[in-house]
Structures are given as structure tokens and as C-alpha cells.
Structure 1
Amino acid sequence: MGAKVGATARSAAQAKSRAGAASAVLVGAVLAASLMFAALPQAAHAHGPVAPLASSYLARVTALPPGLHAKIVDGDQRMWLEAPPSETVTVLDYQGAPYLRFDSAGVQVNQNSAMYYLNQTPVAETPPPNLTASTPPSWQRASGGHSFSWHDGRLHALAAVALLPGKRLVGNWRVALRIDGRPSMISGGLWHAPDPSIVWFWPIVVLLACVLAARRVRRRELDRLTARGVSLATLAALGAVGIGRGLHGRPTVSVLQWIELAVMLAFVVWALRRVLFVRSGYFI
């Protein structure tokens, strides 16, 4: 009788140990995937980082020449431009020198532009002091397509301007162009972004309250359901954040970004399968 009771106790202890270890593995895997996803090196695109950057400002295009398409990427950080192959469109840098040239062959970048050095990644370089607007350009092929994005400090140069209470428009900006040799420009404005919503905070409070309440009436089945619920919520949040982080504000997505997103989603799908279809002994 005593041996039977001892065996039962050992079996229960082993089951509890395995369940606890499995739960720890799941939590560790979620955290590891999150850290791995955040730590993956960001792909370089158009001489600048592509990772979304937190900003208190939003830049918008308000006017541009006919036939061109322009968007602001990452809040107030980057300009994306698409030009028709039938026109030669030159983007001028901060000094008025040619920086980018769009034509029927694709997109070229001028290596004798100060912006070429300032937009190097991962660290900006100091432009040579002898570069001026009259320095002859040295063109290098940057893309075979007809769209390109680059970091442009003119979009957020007004961010340091103090705003009056209740005012959101900070000011207007311009990016000078030449279209088939004719002067032109893309113009827009910079707005102070509204305060972030705290709606997301309340589901977390409710979830924590449910976990605390479950501990007061702790039962094995309730523990199992709680673990599954928390796991599902965590994995769903990880998937949503990953997709949003990878695609937010992007007119185009690089191959490395697709690979990064695919790895993250593959982990989420695998973990969801474990949560939903593996026998209940896997959880507490």
C-alpha cells in the first residue's frame, strides 16, 4: 500500500515537473522569439535604415508635380518617390546639388552629394568639405526600378519649433526637384502626432486580474485553461506586432524583411499548434 502511494506521489511529482518545465520552455521560446525578432539586423534600403522609428511627428505630402507619386515612410523620416520612366527627375540635396536621378534606366545616386555621405548606414559619414552645389556629379546605379526611398532631414527639420497650445501643424517643408531640367518641388507639412491611445492598457489589466483570481481558486483544469489563454494571447500579440512592425508605412518590402517576417510567423504557427492540438499534459 505504501509503495503504491509512493509511486503515485512520484508520478504526480514527475508530471508536475514535466508540465512546469514545458510551460517554462514555452515562455522562454516566446521571449526568445521576441528578442530574436527585435535583434535581427535591419536591411539597408535606399541608403538608410528601414526599421520603423518612434516619432512624435508626422510628415505628409501636400503637393507634387503631375505624374510623380510620393509618400512619407516611418512618420517623418523617409521620402519614397516613384517617377515615370519617360521623364528625368533629379532630387536636389540640402545644398542644391543633384542627389538622386530617376530616368528610363532606373535610379542613380550622386556620390559627390553631401546627402550621399549623410545617409550611409549604419553610421552617417562626414561629407568632404570641398563638396558644393557646383561639384560635378558622380553617378552610381542604385536601382533598376523607378521608385526609391531615402532619409531626408528636410521632412523633420522643424521638429524643434515650439508649438502653441492646441496647435498641431509645425510648419511646411519643400524638397527641390528638376524635371527634364525644369525647376519643381515636392511640398508638404509636419504635424505633431496625437498622444498615443491607452486603450490597449485595459485588456492587460483585465488579463492580470483574471490570472490573480485564478490563483485564489486554483484547480488543475483552471490552471490549464489559464495557461492556454495566456499563451494564445501572447502569440496573437506577437504575430500582430511582427506584421505591423514589418509592414507599417512601407510602400515596398525587401526580401530580408519578408524572410524575417516569415520566420516570426512560422514560430507563431508552430507555437499555436502546440497550444491548441498537443495533449493537455503539455501545460500546467
Structure 2
Amino acid sequence: MILVRLRRAAVVVMAALAALLALAAPAAAHGADAPDGTDYRAAATALAPARPGLTVRVVEAGARLELINRTGRDVEVLGYSGEPYLRVGPGGVYENSRSPATYLNRTIAGDTSLPPEADPAATPTWQRVDRGQSVRWHDQRALWLESSPPAQVRADPGRPHRVRDWVVPLRDGDQTVEVRGTLDWVPPPDAYPWWVATTLAFLAIAAAGLAPAGTATGVRALRAVGALLALGGLATVAFTVGRELDAGADGLGGILLGLVNGQIWTLLTGLGAVAAGGYALARREAADFALALAGACLTIFAGFANVAVLSRSVVPVVWPATAARVLVVLILATGAGALGAGILRLHAAARHARTPTPVPR
């Protein structure tokens, strides 16, 4: 009786966790407004003239620029009409509520409606938005916002193209400093081989669920699926950390803060898969159910959520694009495979429970 109650409690807890993941994961995925993959590579190539203590880089797969100011003095980012837009310095980060860029840059699409007070010719009205010395923002000068590719890409999509050289002006005291960069089109990879590898691996892992439970073969199959699911969970953790590093996280504290603020549910999905894999390796009660549920969460919230990596040339992690695709294939295959194996084992157990036991005469 106690074992039955514990099993029911575990089912309720795990189902609640799955529901929370279903509700929270989409919000987390869009919280940073960063693409899951793109074919446009933005790069900051120079700061002219150079300023010691002042750095600018591209983060979030090209979605934002990041300025870090350690000069000890205020530096302004100028908007699209040359007006003061952002100010970063010892007092923190301020934005000018009269600058149109303040509103246009709130989304990566730049489609925010301008309020009546937005006037680039008006005297700046500064509002502090952060206490630090760094700021990240969308900048249309470094992005391609059209729904269709540039003309040169449409004419020859099979090779790289320089879309534009871009400049974002800064003001340091009474001097203008230019952030110079490039925006390139990079042909996307062929996603077909990655999907073939994912499908074959998924079928191989799921087939382990056909091994008879209670036999030595069944025990080995259960442990193998558990180990592979744990490996998929670790791949999820690595991918999630890679996204935070690509988003500009600096040091262990920055990574942890970014994970908590934006990637916590994906991280918990990966850690949950590791735990479920360990549960299966230990041959605990309800291991089949744990494999199925953790595999489903891993597939949906870590696998399909990042599936764009398989068909995009620029990926939102610091690892090489091929490494990122291997991680996503591993996540999808182990998650879906554990789901399939768990369902098969649960079905076999239910069928066995329904089989009447012969009564000896």
C-alpha cells in the first residue's frame, strides 16, 4: 500500500512538472528575443578610433549588440537620426525616452509604434534602466529585417554574400567613435542527413523497450536507455550553457544568472533527464514511467525548441555549428527514444498484468 501511494505521488509530481514546463518553456524561449537560428551572420569588426576600456560585440546569434564601458566616463550610443539613444557610464545605463530608437529597438522586428513624445530633435530625457556598465540592444543597422533575402542572395543562394557593411556611431565626450561591422548571408546546411541520423538513433533506442522485462536482456536494455537519456540531459545542459555564453554571459556568475532568468526550464529539463536516467540505471520502481515522461519533456522542450539549428547556418551558441547540431540530434534521439522505450515497456507490463495466472489443479 505504501509503495502504491509513493508511486501515485511521484506521478502527480512529475505530471505537475511537465505542466509547468509546458506553460513556462515558450515564455522562456522568447524572453531574450533571440533567434533559434539564422542565415545572417553579423560581426563587429572595429572600433574607430579605438578606446581603451570600451568594447562592442555581437551577441545572441546577431540579434543584439553589446557595449561594455570601463572607461570611467559616459559614452552615448546614437540613434537612427543621430540623436542620443543610450548612455552608459559610471552612473549606470540610461535610455533617452525621446529617442525613436528606444521604442523601435524593443523588438528584433523593429515594429513598435512610436509614442507622441518620440522626437529625435527634442532635448533628451534620460531614464536609468540598469546600474551596470554594459548594455545590449537590437540595432536595425546590423540586422536584415526584410522577410525575403537580398537580391544578390535570391540570384545565387548557394554561396555566401556580403549584405552590407554597417556603422553604429557613439559619442565619447565631444568625439564621435564608430562601431564598424559586417552583415553576411551564409548558405544554410542540408538538414536531411541530420534528420536521418536522428530517426535511426531514435528507432534503435526505442527498440530497447521490446526486450522482455525481468530478464537479463531487459535489465541491460533498461540501463542502456537510462544511460543514453542521461547523456541527452547532459547535452541539453551543454547546449543551454552555450546559449548563455553566446548571449554575452561573463564568468560563472553571469552564466548562472542568465540561466535562472532566461533558460531555467530548459536547464531543469536536462537535469530531469539526467535524474530519470539515473533512476533507470538503479532499476527503481516506476523507472519506465520516468523514462517516458523525461523523454517527452526532453524531446519537446529541449529538442524541438532548438530544431532550427539543424537547418540554419548561424546558431545561437558559442560552439561550432556542427557541434551544436550534434547536440540537438543527441537530445532529440535520446529523448524520443526514451519516450518510445518507456511506452513499450509500460504497455508490456500492463499486458502482463492483464494476463490471468493459471490455477494449478
Q: State the TM bucket, normalised to the shorter chain.
A: 0.7 to 0.9
- Summarize the Cα distance change of 1:278–1:36 in structure 2 as closer, same or farther, 3 Å threshold: farther
Distance 1:188 1:150, change over 3 A: same
In structure 2, the partner of 1:234 is 229
Mapping 1:7-26, distance limit 5 Å? none
Q: Which residue does 2:176 correspond to in 1?
A: 183
Query: How many residues end up aligned between the 2 structures?
Result: 263
Q: Distance in 1 between matches of 2:77 and 2:272?
A: 42
Whole-Å separation in 2 of the counterparts to 1:95 and 1:87: 23
User: Is 1:83–2:72 an aligned residue pair?
Assistant: no
Work out the CA distance in 2 between the residues paired with 1:42 and 1:281: 31
Deviates more, 1:59-68 or 1:112-121: 112-121
Q: What CA deviation, in whole Å up to 9, does each residue of 1:77-109 have, x standing for no partner? A: 111111124232110112221110112212111
Q: Retained in 2: the 8 A contact 1:91–1:178?
A: yes
TM-score normalized with structure 2 length:
0.59
1:169 corresponds in structure 2 to 162
In the superposition, the TM-score normalised over structure 1's length comes to 0.73
Counterpart in the other structure of 1:151: 138
Rg comparison, structure with higher value = 1
Q: 1:246 to 1:52 in 2, by over 3 A?
A: farther
Deviations 1:172-202 (A, max 9, x none): 1111111112122111111223424644742
Change in Cα spacing, 1:42 to 1:121, as seen in structure 2 (3 Å) is: farther
Alpha-carbon distance in 1 for matches of 2:259, 2:186? 26
1:274 aligns with 2:279: yes
Q: In the alignment, which residue of structure 1 is the partner of 2:40?
A: 57
- More off after superposition, 161-170 vs 29-38: 29-38
Counterpart for residue 135 of structure 1: 122
**2: CA distance between counterparts of 1:86 and 1:154?**
27
Q: Structure 1 residues 233, 52: closer, same or farther in 2, change over 3 A?
A: farther
The match for 2:60 is 74
Q: Contact between 1:91 and 1:100, CA under 8 Å: does it hold in 2?
A: yes
Structure 2 CA distance for partners of 1:191 and 1:30, relative to 1, 3 Å: farther
Q: Closer, same or farther in 2 for the Cα pair 1:214/1:106, shift >3 Å?
A: closer
Calculate percent identity across the aligned residue pairs: 26
Classify 1:223/1:263 alpha carbon distance in 2 versus 1 (closer, same or farther; 3 Å): same
Give the stretch that moved more between structures: 258-267 or 128-137: 258-267
Which structure is higher in helix share? 2
Asked whether 1:257 is paired with 2:259, we answer yes
Say what the alpha-carbon RMSD is for the aligned residues: 4.0
Mind listing any 5+ residue stretches in structure 2 that lack a counterpart?
1-7, 289-344, 346-361
Aligned to 2:26: 39
Deviations 1:236-265 (A, max 9, x none): 324423542454112124736326166445
Give the partner amino acid of 1:225: R
Matched, 1:96 2:82: yes
Alignment gaps of 5+ in structure 1: 1-20
Contact 2:229 2:277 (8 Å CA) reproduced: no
